[in-house]
């Protein structure tokens, strides 16, 4: 069997459709020498010239299978053609993008050079303006600082005067309060002494009353004892007289 360009392309397409070309995914390649659009008619004609001869020698099932393979190969070739077209479009886009990026970088470089030249020209003027502005700011800051210092000193003096006045007032109030507390303490001491004296008098009266009550109770007890003794003596006399009368009779 002679392996021509059509057969080689069919073989590659068949391997690609069966998954043998997976290892080449992501690899960039060039197919400038392969023009499928121009050779498609010749390849189909060559295929049609070969196929009738083969169909005469093959069974209908094999013919159907060959027809299916042919359609599948045509489909794979169409997919390859589409992918090549997509790669070509991507390549053109990348080239245009690279050119645009290069132009942009060139523009940026030129603009930076221009900016540097302008910076050199205006640097002194900007420095002078900034120096004048900073000097004015410094003078204004010094004036404000002096005004603020005077205000702070005045506030401190006023606060010190108020503090002394409050201290004097607090001292006077403290003295008055101390006097009032001393008077209250004396009054309280007098009241406590009077209460203590009254309590002592009440205690003495209570003790004397309790002593009198004890003496009265003791006297009543003695009188009751004497009365019981007299009653016992009287009972004994009665008993003695009764006994004598009984003996006589």
Q: Is residue 13 within 8 Å of residue 77, measured between CB atoms?
A: yes
* pLDDT at residue 202, rounded to an integer: 87
* pLDDT at residue 127, rounded to an integer: 84
| Residue 153 within a domain | no
How sure is the predictor about 185, in pLDDT bands with cuts at 50, 70 and 90?
confident
**Per-residue pLDDT tens over the stretch 188-240:** 888 888 888 888 888 888 888 888 888 888 888 888 888 888 888 887 777 77
Of 61-65, 99-103, 127-131, 230-234, the poorest mean pLDDT is in 61-65
The domain total for the chain is 1
Neighbour-count burial of 39, counting CB atoms closer than 10 A to its CB (0-12 exposed, 13-18 middle, 19+ buried) = middle
Query: Does position 152 have pLDDT exceeding 90, yes or no?
Result: yes
Query: Does position 104 have pLDDT exceeding 70, yes or no?
Result: yes
Contacts of 36 (CB under 8 A, 6+ apart): 77, 80, 81, 84
Tokens representing 74?
A: 């045509």
| Residue 59 within a domain | yes
Q: How far apart are CA 198 and CA 192, in angstroms?
A: 10
Query: Does position 156 have pLDDT exceeding 90, yes or no?
Result: yes
Query: Does position 11 have pLDDT exceeding 80, yes or no?
Result: no
**Per-residue pLDDT tens over the stretch 169-183:** 999 998 988 888 888
Q: Span 142-153, mean pLDDT?
A: 92
* pLDDT at residue 248, rounded to an integer: 63
Query: Does position 165 have pLDDT exceeding 80, yes or no?
Result: yes
| Residue 168 within a domain | no
Query: Does position 154 have pLDDT exceeding 50, yes or no?
Result: yes
| Residue 201 within a domain | no
Structural domain of residue 50, as residue ranges?
Answer: 5-17+35-120
Tokens representing 177?
A: 């309060």
| Residue 147 within a domain | no
| Residue 53 within a domain | yes
* Long-range contact set of residues 147-151: C-beta below 8 Å, sequence gap at least 24: none
Query: Does position 145 have pLDDT exceeding 70, yes or no?
Result: yes
Helical pair 5-17 and 60-248, crossing angle rounded to 10 deg = 10
| Residue 40 within a domain | yes
3-state SS, residue 25: coil
Query: Does position 18 have pLDDT exceeding 80, yes or no?
Result: no
Q: How far apart are CA 70 and CA 67, in angstroms?
A: 5
Q: Is residue 37 within 8 Å of residue 52, measured between CB atoms?
A: no
Higher pLDDT, 7 or 206: 206
* pLDDT at residue 16, rounded to an integer: 44
* pLDDT at residue 225, rounded to an integer: 84
3-state SS, residue 238: helix
* pLDDT at residue 57, rounded to an integer: 53
Tokens representing 144?
A: 């404000």
**Per-residue pLDDT tens over the stretch 30-89:** 444 444 444 444 444 444 444 444 444 557 777 778 888 888 888 888 888 888 888 888
Q: How far is CA 76 from CA 14, 16, 38, 50, in A?
A: 8, 8, 17, 20
Longest dimension (CA), the chain: 197
| Residue 84 within a domain | yes
Q: How far apart are CA 89 and CA 81, in angstroms?
A: 12
């Amino acid at each position: 069997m002679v392996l021509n360009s059509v057969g080689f392309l069919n073989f590659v397409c068949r391997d690609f459709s069966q998954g043998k070309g997976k290892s080449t995914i992501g690899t960039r390649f060039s197919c400038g020498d392969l023009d499928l659009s121009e050779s498609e008619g010749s390849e189909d004609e060559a295929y049609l010239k070969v196929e009738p001869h083969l169909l005469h020698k093959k069974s209908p099932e094999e013919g159907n299978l060959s027809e299916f393979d042919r359609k599948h190969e045509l489909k794979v070739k169409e997919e390859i053609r589409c992918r090549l077209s997509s790669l070509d479009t991507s390549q053109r886009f990348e080239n245009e993008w690279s050119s645009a990026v290069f132009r942009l970088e060139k523009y940026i470089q030129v603009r930076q050079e221009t900016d540097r030249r302008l910076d050199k020209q205006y640097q002194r003027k900007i420095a002078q303006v900034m120096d004048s502005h900073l000097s004015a700011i410094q003078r204004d800051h010094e004036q404000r600082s002096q005004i603020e210092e005077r205000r702070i000193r005045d506030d401190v003096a006023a606060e010190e005067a108020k503090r002394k006045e409050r201290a004097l007032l607090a001292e006077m109030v403290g003295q008055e309060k101390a006097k009032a507390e001393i008077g209250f303490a004396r009054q309280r001491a007098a009241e406590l002494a009077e209460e203590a004296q009254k309590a002592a008098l009440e205690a003495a009266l209570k003790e004397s009353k309790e002593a009198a009550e004890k003496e009265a109770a003791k006297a009543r007890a003695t009188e009751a004892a004497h009365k019981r003794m007299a009653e016992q003596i009287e009972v004994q006399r009665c008993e003695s007289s009764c006994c004598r009368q009984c003996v006589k009779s």
